[in-house]
Structure 1
Amino acid sequence: MRQGADRIEAATPVGRDRAVDALRALAILGVVLGHWLVTALVADGGALHASSPLQPMPWLAPISWAFQTLAVFLLVGGHVATRSYAAARAKGTPYRQWLSARLSRLFKPVAAVVALWTVAATALFLSGAEFGTIRTLVKSALSPLWFLVVFAALTAATPLVARLNPLWPLAVVLHVDLLRFGLGAPQSLGWVNLAAGWLVPYTLGAAWTRGELGSRRAALTLLAGGTAATAALVALAHYPASMVGVPGAAISNFNPPTLAAVTFGLAQCGLALLLRDRLRRTMRRPLAWAAVAFVNLFAMTIFLWHQTALMATTAATLPAGHLPGLHTPPDHLAWVGFRLAWLPVFALALTVCWTAFHSYERRGPRRTGTRPSQVVRAHLGRRETSAGAVRRA
């Protein structure tokens, strides 16, 4: 392992901004751990239904503050996409070709997970499984797909939003919430925020590319302003404290995004920008950098299959009885302790999924005998070619 890490370290170009890769890896792993901690599948007789420990124990809301990291992912995504588009324009690459290259990597692994769950759902139906159980499993396993659709739409809009001031989509979210919660407008109006809300961190990433967020003062302003606004909205305007959806809740900060979710994302983005220098120093350690490079290379595989790992573990162990932390109601603190003990099992199941399906995320034909360190080094070389073009431009 050490030798592989050293080879990856030696192959990494000197000018590469490793903090960008570290932030993306932390965002992906935050989503994975967040889902594994707050997604509960309760066995009721022979059926499974979705629940969450945040429902009976709302004081656990800070868990969602730590692991709701999509805003950071979009910050990095906006930064990388605008940088990549600038490089493509400098080389004369047509927009359609640039977009196709970016989306093909994004959606290639989707076919595998959709195909597997189509087969699994059919097999469960033919075996006589309850329809509610099938629906719960499939819905939970495929839930990451909605974010890929949003991210793909934002990526396609990169040329239009590359110079958009983040205050504009933030103003849209503010007015939508004012109409929904203050003036009695239909709640369906909130779906406007599905685009506007996630556009805020994405355009912050574009501002990062333009050099507008390079100072410590800008990052501190985002962190302090976002934190103060979120605290005021929760304490004074009675927005939910949880930054993820809670089954049965009257209002969700997440589905669709509310103003509180967006201001919380601003705080997260500010913190991420403040951590850049520290992350760069940490990434000088070969083992840490190798781990981050690996997560980045297989980010979509990890993101798409982590819920399947949870569903497979839950379903496969159901014949053993109602296991605590896995099949039991998440209505007491002991459940959280048991769930923490299950995390290594979920990680093992995800490793099995990765072993079976990671080749769908790799570009080009699968080469027998290629070691992960070789794949990572090749990936770093491709990514550095694009980044170098931007610097030269």
Structure 2
Amino acid sequence: MSTLTALRAAADRIERRTPAHRDRSVDGLRALALLAVPTGHWLLGGFTLDADGGLHNASPLSSFGGLAPASWVLQMLGIFFLVGGYASVLSFRRRTGSTGAWLKGRVVRLGRPVLGVTAVWALAAPVLYAAGVPEATLRTGATLVVQPLWFVGVYVVVTALTPYCVRAAHRLGGWAAAPLIASVAVVDLLRYGPLADSVPSWLSVLNVLPGWLFAYQLGVSWGERRIGRRGAWLLLAGGAVLFAALLVAFHYPASMVGVPGAARTNSHPPSLLVLALASAQSGAAILLRDRLARLLERPALWAPVVVVNLCAMTILCWHQSALLAAAVPASFVGGVAGLTTAPDSLGWILARVAWMPVFAALLALITRYARRFEAAPAPGTRRAKAVRRAVAGVLAAGFAVFALGLA
């Protein structure tokens, strides 16, 4: 059997197993938003090599500000939180036990892959150091591995707020997200306005929860059927106008991701520009839902969406490891274009694009083995499970301490 025939057979098998009531458009949006994460990190992140062969983080955005619009396309966390809110409210409705039991189940499914990747790296780091990998490289790698995992912590918190989001959606419909965007606007005004010099730096942290809860609340309202096409058009148009105004009139940074050395950032914590983009993306997603659903009725398109959704947390947790799997060996060779050379030339950009299939292949290979962390643990005694969890927790905590520069 040829490879093409095998792929077609697999796609047909997935199609036959898909329930008729499955909302393909929501799964498609989740897969699209998820794949944007590694694509963005791989394209907009780079390294420099020091005299001792150590890798340090760098970004092509420092040299090529014109690449900032690429971050508008690749920053799709708004869509991810929108779909998360939509899926959560449907799951919340179908729960058979208590709210606490429902939340525990979702947290456990999110937590297993995080414990897996951090525990594996805690074991691998000493081995790599003994093999001659410089400490600078290990710290850079640890930072990259931990960097996407902040999302899981925030997602757990907003998921815990689902019952309250449902109540808000029932009372206010799509407008339930309005107080959240207003809150972020007030904090931005304080930290960037005339009083900025007298405002404490920690004030920006107040944007973290409302900034990411905004799109999640929109998803809950959408799942409760409180946002229709008129509301979607309002989100799209209003978000686009606000986005343009913030860039042109209020001089927000154009990049949606952090740029080394920049005085301001839109993403950590989220600024009003992030919410404007999330609003426009959410409106577009709701408007395109039916068209996307029809498109995904084709088995050849639906099958990869299913595979990506089944490996969602593995892709999120391990995609930076795939990048490091190529860059760390290259650092021993020296300056390898697109990997260990400074991202400050057009040649680097072209070389990095050429490396993208390699990163994807490495991620697919890693996923084949790391996918087990997403599955429920094998049967065993309660004591054995407790020991495994304790060991994984200690390893994960140790790696977090190292990655955050506390040790």
Q: Structure 2 length normalisation: TM-score?
A: 0.86
User: Counterparts in 2 of 1:177-196, with a 5 A limit?
Assistant: 177-182=188-193, 183-184=195-196, 185-196=199-210
> Partners of 1:62 and 1:211 in 2: how far apart?
32
Shift of 1:318: 1.9
Q: Is the 8 A contact 1:47 1:130 kept in 2?
A: yes
> Partners of 1:42 and 1:3 in 2: how far apart?
45
> Partners of 1:21 and 1:286 in 2: how far apart?
14
Equivalent residue, structure 2, for 1:22:
28
> Partners of 2:45 and 2:111 in 1: how far apart?
25
Equivalent residue, structure 2, for 1:262:
275
Does residue 1:202 correspond to 2:202, yes or no? no
User: Counterparts in 2 of 1:5-154, with a 5 A limit?
Assistant: 5-45=11-51, 46-88=53-95, 91=96, 93-127=97-131, 129-154=133-158
> Partners of 2:132 and 2:324 in 1: how far apart?
18
> Partners of 2:37 and 2:70 in 1: how far apart?
11
Q: Is the 8 A contact 1:163 1:207 kept in 2?
A: no
Q: Is the 8 A contact 2:89 2:224 kept in 1?
A: no
Shift of 1:130: 3.8
Does residue 1:229 correspond to 2:235, yes or no? no
Q: Secondary structure at the match of 2:227?
A: coil
User: Counterparts in 2 of 1:314-329, with a 5 A limit?
Assistant: 314-329=327-342
Count of residues paired in the alignment: 362
Q: Secondary structure at the match of 1:15?
A: coil
Equivalent residue, structure 2, for 1:372:
none
Q: Secondary structure at the match of 1:50?
A: strand
Does residue 1:362 correspond to 2:362, yes or no? no
Picking from 281, 284, 303, the partner of 1:271 is 284
> Partners of 1:209 and 1:295 in 2: how far apart?
22
Does residue 1:155 correspond to 2:162, yes or no? no
Two-structure CA RMSD over aligned residues (Å): 1.4
Deviations 1:306-341 (A, max 9, x none): 011001110022222211111111112221111000
Q: Is the 8 A contact 2:39 2:74 kept in 1?
A: yes
Structure 1's 283 and 365: CA in aligned 2 closer, same or farther, altered over 3 A? farther
Q: Is the 8 A contact 1:24 1:76 kept in 2?
A: yes
Equivalent residue, structure 2, for 1:243:
256
Shift of 1:210: 1.5
> Partners of 1:111 and 1:358 in 2: how far apart?
13
Question: Which amino acid letter does the alignment assign opposite residue 322 of structure 1?
Answer: G
Q: Is the 8 A contact 2:166 2:220 kept in 1?
A: yes
Picking from 160, 170, 191, the partner of 2:181 is 170
Unaligned runs of at least 5 residues, structure 2: 1-6, 169-175, 380-407
Equivalent residue, structure 2, for 1:375:
none
Equivalent residue, structure 2, for 1:371:
none
Question: Which amino acid letter does the alignment assign opposite residue 47 of structure 1?
Answer: G
Shift of 1:194: 0.7
> Partners of 1:11 and 1:131 in 2: how far apart?
48
Indicate the percent of aligned positions where both proteins have the same amino acid. Answer: 45
Equivalent residue, structure 2, for 1:283:
296
> Partners of 2:220 and 2:368 in 1: how far apart?
35
> Partners of 1:321 and 1:242 in 2: how far apart?
30
> Partners of 1:48 and 1:364 in 2: how far apart?
36
> Partners of 1:279 and 1:187 in 2: how far apart?
43
Shift of 1:122: 2.1
Q: Is the 8 A contact 2:72 2:256 kept in 1?
A: yes
Shift of 1:298: 0.8
